[in-house]
């Protein structure tokens, strides 16, 4: 068995598996584990994180979310190297098809100081902020997502959503035209998640949150993307896609960085919501 936090000298790979509850009969489920194509504008905070590899070759490596017109929240394991150069990153906004058009350059990359490069996602503190060179123009297709109050907890069993351009099954990449996928996933009880991962010598820390079920999960390439829950009509981002054992396995839900755990750190840089 293999953890789907694949690093192969790449900046990141993660997990995502979105689906909507209002599917028309006969809708084909493609993409993300158990997911399907996301309608344009449904997740207007979703961004794609593009990384410049050697030879000026740009590659989509991760997801992320707008939490402010000039700030993106993503996973620290999406950031390549210990001293990342901002101009090696750019962010695609307002598009459901993966493309390095409509991108915004990054001015600053901030990984959480407790993130351990060698331990990656399972080590915890898998969270990073990207400051864009300029605020994005907000529209029906481009908006920020709300961060939850510090006291916000999501009860086990609540169904939330994860989105991304990642694999649609273990080692099965999303096929062209690379349309953003969405999937509905249940929040899993912390104790259940700890117990399951302990069996394979992996430990769920206090800054982690688990979500997903058999056939509904995030997967490689979705890392850094948002796990969002609707509460009284407002979408709150409760998690950042981080790591997991396989994709869509019955007893190993996806593991997310718990956003409430890092609110004070985020607000140190992102001073206030606009």
Is 126 tagged catalytic?
A: yes
Query: d(Cα 15, Cα 19) in Å, to the nearest integer?
Result: 14
Which residue is associated with the tokens 């896609």?
A: 241
Query: Nearest Cα to 33, choosing from 218, 255, 246?
Result: 218
Cis peptide before 177 (omega within 30 of 0): yes
Annotated catalytic, 242?
no
Catalytic residue among 126, 207, 217, 222: 126
Residue found under tokens 């796990």? 227
Q: Which of 65, 98, 223, 242 is catalytic?
A: 223
The answer to whether residue 271 is catalytic is no
Which distant-in-sequence residues (6+ apart) come within 8 Å of 188 by Cβ?
A: 156, 210, 211, 212, 213, 253
Catalytic residue among 77, 179, 217, 242: 77
Helical ranges in the chain per DSSP H? 190-198, 263-269
270: exposed, middle or buried (C-beta count within 10 Å: 0-12, 13-18, 19+)?
A: buried
**Do residues 64 and 87 lie in contact, with contact meaning Cβ atoms separated by under 8 Å?**
no
Residues labelled catalytic = 77, 126, 223
């Amino acid at each position: 068995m293999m953890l789907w936090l694949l690093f192969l000298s790449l900046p990141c790979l993660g997990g995502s598996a979105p689906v909507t509850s209002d599917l028309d009969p006969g809708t084909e489920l493609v993409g993300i584990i158990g997911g399907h194509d996301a309608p344009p504008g449904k997740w207007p905070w979703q961004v794609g994180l593009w990384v410049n590899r050697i030879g000026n070759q740009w590659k989509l490596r991760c997801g992320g979310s707008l939490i402010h017109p000039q700030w993106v929240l993503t996973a620290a394991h999406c950031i390549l190297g210990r001293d990342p150069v901002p101009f090696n990153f750019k962010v695609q906004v307002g598009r459901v098809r993966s493309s390095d058009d409509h991108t915004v350059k990054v001015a600053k990359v901030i990984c959480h100081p407790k993130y351990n490069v060698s331990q990656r996602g399972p080590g915890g503190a898998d969270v990073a902020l990207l400051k864009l060179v300029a605020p994005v123009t907000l529209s029906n297709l481009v908006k920020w997502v709300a961060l939850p109050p510090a006291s916000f907890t999501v009860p086990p069993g609540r169904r939330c959503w994860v989105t991304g351009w990642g694999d649609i099954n273990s080692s099965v990449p999303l096929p062209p035209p690379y349309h953003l996928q969405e999937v509905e996933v249940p929040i899993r009880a912390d104790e259940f998640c700890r117990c399951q991962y302990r069996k394979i010598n992996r430990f769920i820390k206090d800054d982690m949150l688990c979500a997903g079920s058999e056939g509904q999960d995030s997967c490689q390439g979705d890392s850094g993307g948002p796990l969002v829950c609707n509460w009284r009509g407002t979408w709150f981002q409760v998690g950042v896609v981080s790591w997991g054992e396989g994709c869509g396995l019955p007893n190993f839900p996806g593991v997310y960085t718990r956003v409430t755990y890092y609110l004070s750190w985020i607000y140190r840089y992102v001073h206030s919501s606009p």
